[in-house]
Amino acid sequence: MIDFRKYSINIGGRLVELAKPQVMGILNVTPDSFYSASRCGEDRDIIRQRVRQIVDEGADMIDVGGYSSRAGADDVSAEEEYRRLRIGLEIIAEEAPDMIISVDTFRASVAERCVEECGAHIINDISGGDMDKDMFLTVARLHVPYILMHMRGTPATMTQLTEYENVTADVIKDLAFKADRLRRLGVCDIIVDPGFGFSKNVEQNYEMMRHLHEFVEMGYPVLVGISRKSMIYKLLGTKPEAALNGTTVLNTFALMQGAHILRVHDVKAAVEAVKIVSATNGNEF
């Protein structure tokens, strides 16, 4: 178990301390996300209920997604993605006006509208800038924190792009190169995400998890997103619906290696993991 590194990020002009591990609840305003129970679609009552659940269970942040990144998911236009996101963002503003909001999008135009028109605070880009050449400049102009995730190709092609010389070293190299580009553009608040499940096979995901402390050593807050993913349910021979216990085990392991943000479907379980690991480590958050 390693010591937790504290960071601060600028959220809408105020300095927010990441003085303890954060839990980011997932809000999918999509009809086709890989975990069927997480799909809210555009039903405002269901979205509102989900937002209230995330808040009541103790999340520190909400990550809103309007475009499913699962392999084989339907493509949607930028306008459709934004329309979905706007519904979710409006309801969060009504139900949890003080919540930190992250928007899960790889499109610079969608990111810009979500920040400027809807008050989103963080951009979470699964492609690490590769799917929209304007993303880095847009983030720099918006002055918002940016979650830099590693992925190769697109959601449609990523499962074919899993050849690495050393998966941990290769992913860190790519993230470090892009983080340097972002800093040169003036982006101060960078959060790195190894991209579990994206262009990595099951074995490679566990290889990265064993070496998660090396991502922490990069000097940026580290987000871990493994909630109910195939690295869990394929290993256990089950389905996403039965992967909560495995998710909690892996989130606990990630926390023990210094993870800063857990992106999860099941907020209550993650919050409890943070409390237990923190107590075990002698911290009182």
For residue range 10-20, what is the model confidence (pLDDT) as tens digits? 998 899 999 99
Residue 3 domain-assigned? Answer: no
Residue of 44, 173, 263, 268 marked catalytic: 263
Give residue 245's pLDDT band: very low, low, confident or very high (50, 70, 90): very high
Residue 65 domain-assigned? Answer: yes
Long-range contacts (CB closer than 8 Å, 24 or more residues apart) made by 186-189: 186/140, 187/136, 187/139, 187/140, 187/146, 188/10, 189/9, 189/10, 189/144, 189/145, 189/146
Residue 4 domain-assigned? Answer: no
Domain, as residue range, for 58 = 21-275
For the chain, state the CA radius of gyration: 17
Please give the pLDDT value at position 32: 62
* Residue 74, CA distances (Å) to 26, 27, 68, 80, 174 in order: 20, 18, 8, 12, 28
Residue of 181, 229, 234, 268 marked catalytic: 229
Residue 254 domain-assigned? Answer: yes
Residue 38: pLDDT over 80 = no
Q: State which H helix or E strand residue 90 sits in.
A: helix 78-95
Please give the pLDDT value at position 281: 83
Question: Quick check: 228 and 197 in contact, CB under 8 A?
Answer: no
Residue 5 domain-assigned? Answer: no
Residue 144 domain-assigned? Answer: yes
Residue 9 domain-assigned? Answer: no
Residue 46: pLDDT over 70 = yes
Residue 150: partners with Cβ closer than 8 Å, 6 or more residues away:
128, 171, 174, 175, 193, 194, 195, 198, 199
Distance CA 16, CA 4 (A): 16
For residue range 92-103, what is the model confidence (pLDDT) as tens digits? 999 999 999 999
Structural domain count, the chain: 1
Please give the pLDDT value at position 35: 56
For residue range 139-165, what is the model confidence (pLDDT) as tens digits? 999 999 999 999 998 888 888 989 999
Give residue 48's pLDDT band: very low, low, confident or very high (50, 70, 90): very high
229 among known catalytic residues: yes
Residue 35 domain-assigned? Answer: yes
Residue 283: pLDDT over 90 = no
Dihedral of CA 123/52/78/174: which sign? positive
> Residue 271 is encoded by which pair of tokens?
């919050």
Q: Which amino acid is at 117?
A: E
Does the pTM exceed 0.85? yes
152 among known catalytic residues: no
Question: Quick check: 89 and 119 in contact, CB under 8 A?
Answer: yes
For residue range 181-237, what is the model confidence (pLDDT) as tens digits? 999 999 999 999 999 999 999 999 999 999 999 999 999 999 999 999 999 999 999
Question: Quick check: 151 and 158 in contact, CB under 8 A?
Answer: yes
Question: Quick check: 86 and 108 in contact, CB under 8 A?
Answer: no
Mean pLDDT of 123-139: 97
Distance CA 6, CA 231 (A): 29
Mean pLDDT of 48-74: 89
Please give the pLDDT value at position 177: 98
CATH number at residue 147: 3.20.20.20
